[in-house]
Amino acid sequence: MDRFYVLLMGFLSVVLVNNFVFTKFLGTCPYLGVSGRIDSAFGMGLAVTFVTALSGTLTWLVDFYILTPLGLEVTRYICYIVIIAGAVQLVEMYVRKFFPSLYDAFGIFLPLISTNCVILGVCLFINIWGTNNLLEVVVLSAGVGIGFTVAICIMAGIREELALADVPKSFKDAPITLITAGILTLAFMGFAGMIK
Amino acid sequence: MANDSDNKAGLYRRALLTGLWRENPTFRLLIGMCPPLAVTTAVKPALTMGISVIFVLVCSNLVTSLMRNLLKSHLRIIMFTLNIATFVTICDLFLRAYAPRMSEILGAYVPLIIVNCIIIFRAEVCASKSGPIVSILDGIGTGSGFTIALCILAGIREVLATGCFFDIRVMPNSFVPWLAMRMPVGAFVTLGLLLGLANVMTMKKES
């Protein structure tokens, strides 16, 4: 029960309190670029969640069982990148073969997200947090993906309304989106302190 | 960049200057937006970040340009990324050895240069199509444009959040620091306003 509690708190922490988009600014590019419509934002979020969970776990395993015992920490970043690119490719091939309808839904986003900073960010932060338990790593990396999905969907919802608003010409698109995002982070600051 | 003009000096100058304003990655192209938001609480980390990006960009542009005839189109992106990851590792280890405090402040954002879109974008658009000298100049230009953008943003945020610039006090003692500028909201709103300002300036220039 105690362990379950720790996992739940960790999960809530990365989804709400330490949301990667709002507190660490990771994944800002797709956040500003793709979040024009809710359904495409949701597709992107799902794809990212899938890949973060997979690559976060894989990189942790490689780090813990191969790189650290062999003293090869210097090659860490290169290994991470290769693993992420491989995972994205694998997921893309698998989904195309076995779930063609799902592939149609978020297929276009898959190749794009290998250079999404959220993915590499998860791998790096798991390393920085010093997590040393496989279950925790899986829960945290999936949680980061879900936090990203939450953020990008909220933003897409606001932007669908913003499209109708009368914004000064020079503040259209990116500037107003950034300011909206700023106000949104204020709202999410309400969660700060809820969990350490 | 595929320009037929044999005026080499003009080509070099254009490679160097385009990135400064006309194709400024932060203000005009809106790519690589994570570091401008994350490391700009003060000018020092922003400057360190900018210099790191210039170093990585110049090195990766040079190597990409030298191997541009060997690139296979379907393996292109992974080649770029591996190449970038190597230089980022060098940069990270260097910072950890010679500027441990900076390295601590920047934390995971130095390795995150690997997935910064600016560097892959320049490799794809410029370095894989042009010679080493143009690529190096392009790296310096784009990197400087990025650094300037970072420093402007960091300068505004540092002055308003602490009353200091580059750790030197510039505001009168009665100035009350705006704590919000230190927080994520300060980053988003300041960058949003700056982008709006950049748009206003561009429109004025055009009309």
The 3-class secondary structure across chain B, one letter per residue, is CCCCCCCHHHHHHHHHHHCCCCCCHHHHHCCCCHHHHHCCCCHHHHHHHHHHHHHHHHHHHHHHHHCCCCCCHHHHHHHHHHHHHHHHHHHHHHHHHHCHHHHHHHHHHCHHHHHCHHHHHHHHHHHCCCCHHHHHHHHHHHHHHHHHHHHHHHHHHHHHHHCEECCEECCCCCCCCCHHHHCHHHHHHHHHHHHHHHHHHHHHHHC
B2: distance to nearest CA of chain A, Å? 26
Is the C-alpha dihedral spanning B162, B164, B168, B170 positive or negative? negative
Token pair of B88, please? 């980022």
Q: Which residues of A touch B77 (CB under 8 A)?
A: 85, 114-115
Residue B66 lies in a domain: yes
pLDDT at B75 (0 to 100): 79
SS (H, E, C) B44-71: HHHHHHHHHHHHHHHHHHHHHHHCCCCC
Q: Chain B interface, mutation test: which of A59, A77, A119, most B Cβ atoms within 10 Å?
A: A77
For B120, residues 6+ apart whose C-beta sits below 8 A from its C-beta are A115, B77, B80, B81, B84
Q: A21 at the B interface (CB within 8 A)? A: no
Per-residue pLDDT tens over the stretch B85-95: 999 999 999 99
For chains A and B, CB pairs below 8 A equal: 118
Tokens coding A184: 């949104």
Task: Calculate how close chain B gets to A128, using CA atoms only, in Å.
Answer: 8
Do A174 and B188 lie within an 8 Å CB cutoff? no
Kindly state whether residue B6 falls inside one of the protein's structural domains: no
Question: Among A26-30, A112-116, B56-60, B192-196, which stretch is predicted with the lowest mean pLDDT?
Answer: A112-116
A interface test, pick of B105, B188, B193 with most A CB neighbours within 10 Å: B188
Write down the pLDDT at residue A59.
Answer: 92
Q: Report which of B49, B109, B1 is spatially closest to residue A24, judged by C-alpha positions.
A: B109
pLDDT at A107 over 60: no
Dihedral (CA of A11, A16, A22, A24) sign: negative
Q: Residue B168: beta bridge partners?
A: B165
Instruction: Enumerate the residues of chain B whose CB falls inside 8 A of the CB of residue A169.
Output: 199, 203
What would the pLDDT profile of A44-89 be if each residue is shown by its tens digit?
Answer: 788 888 889 999 999 999 998 998 888 888 888 899 988 888 888 8
CB contact at 8 A, B102 and B48: yes
CA atoms in the 13 A half-sphere facing the CB of B60: 34
For chain A, what is the mean pLDDT?
A: 83
Kindly report, residue by residue over A130-172, the tens digit of the pLDDT: 887 888 899 999 999 999 999 989 988 888 888 888 888 888 8
Q: Hey, are the CB atoms on A182 and B186 less than 8 Å from each other?
A: yes
What is the extent of the structural domain holding B127?
Answer: 12-206
Distance CA A115, CA A183 (A): 27
Q: Using a CB–CB cutoff of 8 Å, tell me whether A52 touches chain B.
A: no
Q: Please tell me whether the interface predicted TM-score (ipTM) of this complex is above 0.90.
A: no
Instruction: Report residue B7: phi and psi, to 5°.
Output: -80, 90
Mean pLDDT of B157-177: 83
Phi, psi of B6 (to 5 degrees): -90, 10
Whether residue A123 contacts residue A84, with contact meaning beta carbons closer than 8 Å, is answered with yes
- C-alpha A100/C-alpha B44 separation (Å) is 50
In a domain, B134, yes or no: yes
**A10, A31, A56: which is closest to A148 by C-alpha?**
A31
Is residue B99 in some structural domain? yes
Residues of B in contact with A82 (CB under 8 A): 78, 82
What are the residues whose beta carbons fall under 8 Å from the beta carbon of A88, sequence distance 6 or more?
A: A51, A55, A110, A111, A113, A114
B5 assigned to some structural domain: no
Q: Tell me whether residues B199 and A171 touch, CB distance under 8 A.
A: yes
> Which tokens belong to A128?
């920085």
Contacts of B197 in chain A (CB under 8 A): 170
A101 has a pLDDT exceeding 80 = no
Q: For residues B1 and B123, is the Cβ–Cβ distance under 8 A?
A: no
What is the number of structural domains in chain B? 1
**Which DSSP state fits A39?**
H
* Pairwise CB contact (< 8 Å): A78 & B185: no
Q: Indicate whether B4 belongs to any domain.
A: no
Both tokens assigned to B163? 């009353």
Task: Give the phi and the psi of residue B188 in degrees, each rounded to 5.
Answer: -65, -50
Closest CA to A24 of B53, B37, B113: B37
Partners of residue B183 in chain A, C-beta under 8 Å: 185, 189
Beta bridge partners of B165: B168
Residue B7 lies in a domain: no
Residue B71 belongs to a domain: yes
Domain spans of chain A?
21-177
CB contact under 8 A, B117 and A115: yes
What residues of B are in contact with residue A85 (Cβ under 8 Å)? 77-78, 81
Contacts of B86 in chain A (CB under 8 A): 78
Q: Tell if the pTM clears 0.90, that is, is over it.
A: no
